[in-house]
Amino acid sequence: MVNNAGVASIQSIAEITLEQVEKTFKVNIHGVLWGIQAAAVKFKERGHKGKIISASSIAGHEGFPLLGVY
């Protein structure tokens, strides 16, 4: 299973809205968590270990002024 989806609001942190933050967290945090959970259930049902890869962008390692929430 590969987690490789994400969304970002390209905007100053001072101007970001609650709705934009919630959308970002629903995709980037919740999507990863629930995807891992669903994959783990399937691995157990099939009786074997699986592999889960969670990818990130460079913004996961380095800060960018217009990607504060991301």
**Among all residues, which ones are annotated catalytic?**
70
Contacts of 29 (CB under 8 A, 6+ apart): none
Are the C-beta atoms of residues 14 and 68 closer than 8 Å to each other?
Answer: no
DSSP state of 26: I
User: What is the spatial distance between Cα 51 and Cα 44, in angstroms, rounded to a whole number?
Assistant: 12
